[in-house]
Amino acid sequence: MLYTTIEHAAEPLLQALNTARHILVTTHVNPDGDAIGSLVAMGRTLRLLGKTVTMVAPTPLPGVAAVLADAAEVQIYSDTRTLPDAADLVLLLDTGSVARIEPIYTYEQAYLAARPLIVIDHHATNSGQGVLNLVMTEAAATCEILALLVSAWRLPLDAETATALLLGLITDTQSFQTSHTSPRSLQVGADLLSAGGRLNDVVRSMLFSKPFAHARALGLAMERLHQDGAIIWTEFTQAMKAQSGADDEAGDEITAYISRIGGAKVYALFKERQDGTVKISLRSAPGIDVGSVAQAFNGGGHREAAGATLEMPLAEARPLVLAKLRALLSKDQ
Ligand SMILES: [Mn+2]
């Protein structure tokens, strides 16, 4: 069943969650603020409903998670022992497809097949793989959806849950700047502040706590910045990573920075991974669907923010992706 509104989903979703005693809550690989905020907020909410909750992330949490005390409870998947046998339901948050929980998807097929899956998400590419899915593609963040759900369920919203939801909302709207930001996003933000959400802590941990190594990585990436018509792109290689001392999160910083440059329509970062594959991060001006390009490479995301992994060296991936982006723009003319 696929729902697209709170109005229709709130009651059946609550009933489905209430059939379970122990819920495994998880999210996508390389979790961002919306993924972590969703995990923590849902964990707290399900405990209010009397559930036993295990929160698991497929890969380690970003530094910004430290603003949430409950993030310390999130287990990072290592092997089959990470997942509780007793869980009788899996809740997947902020994740467009089950394959995006990579190691869990790869190694825990039997575990996943044995339990009903519920999905709550806002990715346009979400096909609704759960027995019950709430996918609101107009929502700016999964945390926006969860705030509306908690309210529809008439559950209390404490300061910690509000802070977790704020983290997701501020992350995915880039502080209420993306085109998905709606009057409702701002209203939810106001409600979360009213509930005691620690906006200042979230903003400081997100925007005023950049590691020095990230600034060095940004400098190296800017030296390789290219403008190709309406496409702006750069790269972040393993050598640049070693030279700067930065971790993979620096890539997000570079993508965010280049997408603020005016006069272009498409922005691309080519990030070389340690295993030799290439992660592309794409951003676009309103109305340009880089999500379709990501999908052409078996990736996903949103129309104006998407990504994919190419199993080939950087020198091969770059011309392939740039050709697809040029084709997208020529179609747009
Ligand atoms: Mn999200």
Query: Minimal CA–CA distance to 175: which of 183, 187, 163, 167?
Result: 167
What pLDDT is recorded for position 325?
A: 98
Q: Copy the structure tokens of residue 238.
A: 């393993």
* Distance (Å) from CA 287 to ligand 1 centroid: 19
* Distance (Å) from CA 139 to ligand 1 centroid: 9
What pLDDT is recorded for position 332?
A: 64
What pLDDT is recorded for position 81?
A: 85
Neighbours of 31 (CB within 10 A): 26
* Distance (Å) from CA 94 to ligand 1 centroid: 5
* Distance (Å) from CA 135 to ligand 1 centroid: 11
Tell me the C-alpha to C-alpha distance, in Å, between residue 290 and each of 142, 146, 212, 279, 294: 21, 27, 31, 14, 6
* Distance (Å) from CA 138 to ligand 1 centroid: 11
What pLDDT is recorded for position 333?
A: 56
* Distance (Å) from CA 50 to ligand 1 centroid: 26
Q: Which residues contact 252 (CB under 8 A, 6 or more apart)?
A: 32, 281
In CATH, what class is 2-206? alpha beta
What pLDDT is recorded for position 196?
A: 98
DSSP structure class, residue 5:
-
* Distance (Å) from CA 37 to ligand 1 centroid: 10
* Distance (Å) from CA 171 to ligand 1 centroid: 8
* Distance (Å) from CA 143 to ligand 1 centroid: 8
Task: Report the CATH number of the 213-332 domain.
Answer: 3.10.310.30
Give me the tens of pLDDT residue by residue for the chain, a chain 333 residues long.
Answer: 999 999 999 999 999 999 999 999 999 999 999 999 999 999 999 999 999 999 999 999 988 999 999 999 999 999 888 899 999 999 999 999 999 999 999 999 999 999 999 999 999 889 899 999 999 999 999 999 999 999 999 999 999 999 999 999 999 999 999 888 999 999 999 999 999 999 999 999 998 888 999 999 999 999 999 999 999 999 999 999 999 999 988 999 999 999 999 999 999 999 999 999 999 999 999 899 999 999 999 998 889 999 999 999 999 999 999 999 999 999 865
* Distance (Å) from CA 122 to ligand 1 centroid: 7
DSSP structure class, residue 21:
S
For the chain, domain boundaries? 2-206, 213-332
* Distance (Å) from CA 34 to ligand 1 centroid: 5
User: How far does the chain reach from its first CA to its final CA, in angstroms?
Assistant: 38
